[in-house]
Structure formats: C-alpha cells, structure tokens
C-alpha cells in the first residue's frame, strides 16, 4: 500500500511539473469548459489552439486577429489560469467593451479552476463575480473599458477582448504601459472593425515593423477543422457579405462602418503622392501643383476649436478637375491661420475662400475681413443654411452683405449634405486626392450612432474641410454658370439700327454665340 501511495505521489508530482511547464498539456488534460449546448465538457484543443497557446507562452505582447467562435477568449482564460497557478503574485486584468463581457472571461477561469483535480487547484482567498484571487497572491480582475483599471497596480498580463470595438483603446494602452513596465505581457484579441484604428495599426505594426514588440497571430475561419465552404456560405446568409467578411475572413478592408467604403479608400491610398514642396516652420503646408493662372480654385478651411484636441486645416481644390493641389494641417492660432488663408487664397488666383464659421472660426475670418479679401464665401442669414436654389434665385451678390454672414455654416442641416457630397464624389471616383494624411483620416471617419464622425482618439479636420470643398464645388460651378447666363442676357440686349447684333439661334448652323458688327459674323464664345 505504501508503494502504491509512493507511486501515486510520483505520478502527481510528475503531472504537476509537466503542467507547470506546458500550458498545452495542462489544458488538454485537465481543463473543462461550459459548452452552451453540451454542458461541462473537456476542453479538447484543436491543433490551431495548441499552437496559439505556445505562441502566447513564448511572446510577451500578442495581437490576435481572429474569426468568430474559435474559442480564443476561452483559450486566453485558460492561459491566464495556468499563469496564475504556477506563478506567485501574477496579476491579470481583463478589459472589454462592457464589464459584462469582461466578467465572462473571469467566469471561464473560475469554471476551469473549479473542475481541476484537488492537487492542481489553488487556494482561493477571495472570489466574487468580477475577480478571483489565490493565496499565492495571483489574481484576475474584470473591468469595462470605461474605467481607469489599466492605471492600477502592476500588471503581469493585460487581456483586451474585442479590442477593435473599444472606443478609447489607445488611451487604455498608453495608461497600461506604466503597469506593464516591470515585465508584464498583453493579449489583444479581436475581429476587425475597419482600418486606421489602434487595433488595425497595431496589427500592421506587427506585420511590417521588424523592431516591433508585437507578435501577430492570425486565425482565419479555415483554421477550424470542422468548418468548410458550406459553413462560410451559411455565415453570409446569416450576417450578410460585409458582416461575414468581418466576422469570418479577418478582412480589415471590408469590415467597419466607414463613411466611405474601405475598398474605395484603399484604391485612393494607392494613388497618393508625396508633395513637391512642404512649406512652413512645421512643413505642414503641402503642395502638389503650383497655381495655374488659367484655372479656378477654391480654398476651404476648418478652424480648430482652440482646445488643442484638433487641428486647423485647409485644402486648395482645382474646381474644374476636382483635384487636390495643396493642403494644410497644423496648429496655428486662429488669427495667424486667418492671415495665412488670406495669403494662400490670394496666391491661388484669388480663389473662392470658404472658412467654416462655427465657434472659433470667426477669429480666423476677422483678419480676412480686415484685409479686405473680395472673394470670401458668404451665407445668407435668413436661410439658416446654404440653399443653392434660393441663392441662385436671389442672385449671389456679395456686394450687398447686409443679409449675409461671412463663411460656411456647418449645421445639423448642412452637415449631412456635406457628408453626402463626400461619399458620392468618392464612390464615383471623381476627386483626385494626393494626400496620405487625408486618406488616413477617412479610414477612421465612421458612422457612430447615426452620425458621421472620427473614431474616439482621432480627428476629422482634413475630412470635413474636404467635404465642405466638394459641396461648395457644386456651388461655385452653379454660380459660375449663373454668371454665364447673365452674360448671355446682356449680349442679347445689344442692338443697332440695322437689327440685333447678337444673333441668338436664328438658323440651324448658328451656335448661338455669333454677332455681326457689319463685316460678317464673329464668334463670342471667348467671352465665357
């Protein structure tokens, strides 16, 4: 009997040692999970799960791009439990979109621990719904992304679940750096949610930067041995094409809810160019073409609020070709920014200068008024917003400014029109965009709660000024056409005793733009 006990102790000691050294052996042999349909079952790891566990063990910072329902949250819970049992004072923090989601991962840890054999279990010192603490000092805690939990005590492991959907993830990661500085690691996992956000940037960094701290783990739906093309087609039926691309294919481009579709932005990104000149002390004024004095331009500006959170920005757009020829994004004071706009608009053929007039915008407009710039865009007061049809009926006469206000008014009524113009023009592939800065902003310009805006932690200054420019481009062309029609009417009034000078369209061969001063017809199209 003594020998049997001795053998049993040796077996247990051997098993314990193997478990402590190998998370795959630990989970494959001793961990149970709660299956939604089959109840408590042994966690029979697939090959891709075993490989992922080994990668988590061997790398400090792990970013996991995953398909849905691959058991990766459960795998992360098992890795956390293994780390807590075989290390003293191992502190795990779980952050998710909501506290409930984070709590679910802690629950998975608890279920696994409760079903371990007694010789593997840790001695529980404290246990509640959101945390679990062992006598060896190791613990796991769940918090929502809305808390400042990442700034708390030193962390051994930070687990961020569905990181691409956490609005303040960049802030959370920065806050965690101090707590991870003593050698802690991270598991950041998510399905994709668009391009340009922190999760996407982190993934790209792991792929492209040889000096990065991040280790990438990609788990496409095809890694699961029980899934085939029929399963994938079923997901399309359930989720739609875009939803299935996000949830199954690990497709950043097709995922998310960007105002301008990801594939369209990707095509624009491929055609971006380095500027031929960068001006200013901060090289923030980028130029791709120099002024052509035969062209019409519009300069459209968005003025920073002045709180340091956003930027002042403007675009110079070739009206005829809808071509971006220059751009600025910087943090000049509003008055200095206004003086800069005066100079830029003057240089670009006295361009139509449209400055967004909300909030601090007036501080930028004032020096433009003081210097007497003639081609400043005005909005009618009584309209409340720019209605082009109304403006055309009234006549766009900026000499009478009594009923007008300088600048562009971005309101709840005009903003959707600007966003619509942006989306329509870019969907049609009409604008010529050179700026990587603008495209990067557009990648994080998304629909949130029915409103088009930058993701939290990003800005949309270049985006909105470009949207205003596309909207006003139609305005300027309509106004230009109105001027042409006025010229036509004026020419029609030219009379001589011999008859009408302007011939109109008196015969089929006539263009309608001829006159006869007495020695034969001459064309008048040059007047246009």
Q: Does 2-247 match 262-481 in CATH topology?
A: no
**Token digits of residue 274:** 């380095």
pLDDT higher than threshold 70 for residue 369: yes
Q: Give residue limits of the domains in the chain.
A: 2-247, 262-481, 494-527
**Token digits of residue 414:** 């005009």
Residue 353 is predicted with a pLDDT of 92
pLDDT higher than threshold 80 for residue 486: no
How high is the mean pLDDT of the chain?
83
Look up the pTM and report it.
Answer: 0.62
Residue 393 is predicted with a pLDDT of 46
Residue 284 is predicted with a pLDDT of 94
Give the pLDDT confidence of 182-235 residue by residue, as tens digits.
Answer: 789 999 999 988 777 889 889 988 888 888 999 999 999 999 999 999 999 999
Residues in the chain: 528
pLDDT higher than threshold 90 for residue 10: no
* Section 123-146 average pLDDT: 91
Q: At how many degrees (to 10) do helices 47-58 and 72-85 cross?
A: 50
230/389 Cα distance (integer angstroms): 54
Residue 261 is predicted with a pLDDT of 83
Query: Comparing 57-66, 169-178, 401-410, 478-487, which segment has the lowest mean pLDDT?
Result: 478-487
Q: 141: alpha, beta or left, given left = phi > 0 and alpha = psi -120 to 50?
A: beta
The H or E element containing residue 265 is: helix 262-270
Parallel, antiparallel or unpaired: strands 157-161 and 39-42 = unpaired
- Check: CB of residue 313 under 8 Å from CB of residue 328: yes
Helix (H, G, I), strand (E, B) or coil at 302: strand
Residue 2 is predicted with a pLDDT of 54
Top CATH class of 2-247 equals alpha beta
95/100 Cα distance (integer angstroms): 10
524/515 Cα distance (integer angstroms): 7
pLDDT higher than threshold 70 for residue 278: yes
φ, ψ at 67 (rounded to 5°): -80, 170
Planar angle of CA 400, 404, 407, nearest 5 degrees: 120
Work out the pLDDT band at 384, boundaries 50, 70, 90: very low
Residue 306 is predicted with a pLDDT of 56
pLDDT higher than threshold 70 for residue 469: yes
Helix (H, G, I), strand (E, B) or coil at 204: helix
Residue 5 is predicted with a pLDDT of 63
113/331 Cα distance (integer angstroms): 54
**Token digits of residue 308:** 């340091």
273/484 Cα distance (integer angstroms): 36
pLDDT higher than threshold 80 for residue 106: yes
Query: Comparing 120-129, 221-230, 295-304, 380-389, which segment has the lowest mean pLDDT?
Result: 380-389
**Token digits of residue 312:** 């002042």
Report the percent of the chain where pLDDT is more than 70: 80
The single-letter DSSP state of residue 517 is: S
In sequence order, what are the beta bridge partners of 408?
356
Largest CA distance in the chain: 136
pLDDT higher than threshold 50 for residue 263: yes
150/152 Cα distance (integer angstroms): 6
444/420 Cα distance (integer angstroms): 17
Query: With the C-alpha atoms ordered 454, 459, 461, 462, is the resulting torsion angle positive or negative?
Result: negative
Residue 518 is predicted with a pLDDT of 54
* Section 74-82 average pLDDT: 95
Work out the pLDDT band at 158, boundaries 50, 70, 90: very high
- Check: CB of residue 393 under 8 Å from CB of residue 330: no
In sequence order, what are the beta bridge partners of 313?
302, 329
Going from the C-alpha of 8 to that of each of 11, 32, 118, 165, the distances in angstroms are 5, 23, 14, 49
Looking at per-residue confidence, does 219 or 167 come out higher?
Answer: 219
Give the pLDDT confidence of 388-403 residue by residue, as tens digits.
Answer: 454 444 444 445 566 6
Query: Comparing 84-93, 177-186, 366-375, which segment has the lowest mean pLDDT?
Result: 177-186
Residue 245 is predicted with a pLDDT of 81
pLDDT higher than threshold 80 for residue 19: yes
174/334 Cα distance (integer angstroms): 30
In sequence order, what are the beta bridge partners of 405?
379
Residue 505 is predicted with a pLDDT of 44
Query: Comparing 4-8, 179-183, 289-293, 338-342, which segment has the lowest mean pLDDT?
Result: 4-8
pLDDT higher than threshold 80 for residue 73: yes
Work out the pLDDT band at 379, boundaries 50, 70, 90: confident
CATH number of 262-481: 3.30.420.240
* Section 286-307 average pLDDT: 88
- Check: CB of residue 319 under 8 Å from CB of residue 476: yes
């Amino acid at each position: 009997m003594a020998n049997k006990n001795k053998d049993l102790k040796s077996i247990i000691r051997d098993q314990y040692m193997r478990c402590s050294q190998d998370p795959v052996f630990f989970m494959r042999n001793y961990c149970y999970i709660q299956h939604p349909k089959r109840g408590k079952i042994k966690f029979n790891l697939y090959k891709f799960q075993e490989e992922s566990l080994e990668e988590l063990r061997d790398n400090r910072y792990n970013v996991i791009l995953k398909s849905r329902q691959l058991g990766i949250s459960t795998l992360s819970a098992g890795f956390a439990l293994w780390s807590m049992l075989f290390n003293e004072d191992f502190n795990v923090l779980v952050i998710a979109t909501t506290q409930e989601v984070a709590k679910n991962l802690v629950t998975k840890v608890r279920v696994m621990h409760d079903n371990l054999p007694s010789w593997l279990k840790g001695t529980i010192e404290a246990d509640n719904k959101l945390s679990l603490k062992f006598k060896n000092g190791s613990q796991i805690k769940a918090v929502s992304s809305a808390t400042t939990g990442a700034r708390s005590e030193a962390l051994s492991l930070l687990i961020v679940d569905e990181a691409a959907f956490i609005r303040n993830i960049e802030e959370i990661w920065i806050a965690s750096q101090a707590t991870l500085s003593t050698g802690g690691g991270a598991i950041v996992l998510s399905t994709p949610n668009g391009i340009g956000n922190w999760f996407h940037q982190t993934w790209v960094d792991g792929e492209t930067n040889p000096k990065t701290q991040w280790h990438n783990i990609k788990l496409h739906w095809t890694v699961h041995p029980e899934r085939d093309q029929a399963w994938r087609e079923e997901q399309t039926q359930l989720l739609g094409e875009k939803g299935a691309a996000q949830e199954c294919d690990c497709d950043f481009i097709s995922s998310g809810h960007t105002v301008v579709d990801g594939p369209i932005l990707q095509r624009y990104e491929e055609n971006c160019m380095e500027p031929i000149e960068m001006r200013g002390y901060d090289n923030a004024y980028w130029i791709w073409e120099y002024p052509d004095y035969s062209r019409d331009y519009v300069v459209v500006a968005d003025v920073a609020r002045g709180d340091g959170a956003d930027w002042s920005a403007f675009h110079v757009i070739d009206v005829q070709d809808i071509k971006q020829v220059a751009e600025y994004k910087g943090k000049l004071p509003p008055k200095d920014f206004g003086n800069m706009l005066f100079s830029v608009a003057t240089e670009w053929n006295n361009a139509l200068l449209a400055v967004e007039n909300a909030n601090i915008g007036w501080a930028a407009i004032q020096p433009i008024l003081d210097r007497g710039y003639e081609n400043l865009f005005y909005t009618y007061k009584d309209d409340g917003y720019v209605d082009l049809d109304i403006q055309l009926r009234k006549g766009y006469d900026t000499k009478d400014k009594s009923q007008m206000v300088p600048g562009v008014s971005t309101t709840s009524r005009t903003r959707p029109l600007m966003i619509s113009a942006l989306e329509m023009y870019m969907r049609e592939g009409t604008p010529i965009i050179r700026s990587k800065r603008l495209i990067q902003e557009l990648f994080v310009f998304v629909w949130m709660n029915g409103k088009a805006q930058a993701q939290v932690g990003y800005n949309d200054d270049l985006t909105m000024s470009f949207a205003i420019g596309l909207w006003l481009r139609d305005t300027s062309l309509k106004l230009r056409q109105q001027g042409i029609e006025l010229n036509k009417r004026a020419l029609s009034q030219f009379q001589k005793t011999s008859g009408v000078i302007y011939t109109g369209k008196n015969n089929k061969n006539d263009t309608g733009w001829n006159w006869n001063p007495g020695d034969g017809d001459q064309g008048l199209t040059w007047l246009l």
